[in-house]
Amino acid sequence: MKKHFITLLLAVAAGLAVNGANTGVSQDMAQKINSKTYKVKDVEKYIRKEVTGSNGRITLISVNTSVVRGVSTFDKNVTDPNELFLFKHLQVKFGSQASEGTADIKEIDMKDAIPAQLQKAHLIVDIDGKNKFDLPLSLLKNPGVDQNILSSYFEISNDGSYFDMNKKIEINIEMPEGISVPTDKKHYVEVSFLGIGLQ
């Protein structure tokens, strides 16, 4: 399966390199693809954020987002111009602490069940204004103590999906109208994408 996935990634990369700047591929990345000097490696991209009391559209990344280990792998709200990321697994995790809790967001144990108020919320991912995903959070299983890592992820059908390079990316949670994340505790959400990157 992984060999097929890498073959698909290279095919996508070749097409992007041919079209060059129109696809957001940096000159350096295009040269690596054409000269076959790229590296392929396993990659997980994620964003973690507190959502206590939120309603409507919850924006998870913005121009103020930065790379912080344990919190975010995204730099602002633009995809990496030097990495083609192809992923087939997607996961949303939840965690909480007491309202007066002082634990750093990096330390929150993200193993809680999905709050009832988020059961009907949707995860929406748009890249360059084009929708990639619009899926209910109830589908995107929390791992708990599952020992099989991939079994705790939602598997994307067909050949997965990829992040176009150097494009605006929006990751949002859309709450049902009139529903808010409760304020009885501090609530956190983490969205992660698991795949392979061409660098």
pLDDT at 165: 76
Residue ranges, the chain, pLDDT below 70: 1-6, 8-25, 141-152, 157-160
- Long-range contacts for 63-70 (Cβ within 8 Å, ≥24 apart)? 68/106, 69/106, 70/105, 70/106
What does the alpha-carbon distance between residue 154 and residue 9 come to, in Å, rounded to a whole number? 20
Percentage of residues in the chain with pLDDT exceeding 70? Answer: 79
Q: Give the pLDDT of residue 3.
A: 66
| pLDDT at residue 107, rounded to an integer | 92
Beta bridge partners of 194: 44, 89
Per-residue confidence (pLDDT) for residue 126, from 0 to 100: 92
pLDDT score, position 108: 92
In which residue are the tokens 């890592």 written? 149
Q: Model pTM?
A: 0.84
Q: What is the pLDDT of residue 51?
A: 94
Per-residue pLDDT, 32: 78
